[in-house]
Amino acid sequence: MTFTLPDHVANDAQTLRAIADRHGFDGAGVERLPETGIFNAIFRLGDDAILRIPRHHPDFIAAACREATAVPAARAGGSHA
């Protein structure tokens, strides 16, 4: 059986700069990184942050939403990994 990954969400430079600026990073320093997994497009926002944008598929988006909830909860509970 062959599986085809869904497309990445289209992100132009202006949108990526706006996301970086909104979160206090230099929008001019956004750099797309090589693919290392199947879920996300990965961008460097300066030296201290990564922006991950899930592929255009409900399962991938739902996984990102779960992670966005679980990680802060785990950190609040004392986990720093």
Is the pLDDT at 48 greater than 70? The verdict is yes
Q: What is the pLDDT of residue 81?
A: 58
What pLDDT, on the 0 to 100 scale, is given for residue 7? Answer: 83
Tokens of 39: 């879920």
| Residue 37 CB neighbour total at 10 angstroms | 8
Predicted local confidence at residue 42, as pLDDT: 92
- Which has the higher per-residue pLDDT, 36 or 9? 9
Query: What average pLDDT is seen over the chain?
Result: 86
pLDDT at 23 over 80: yes
Residues 48-77 have a mean pLDDT of: 88
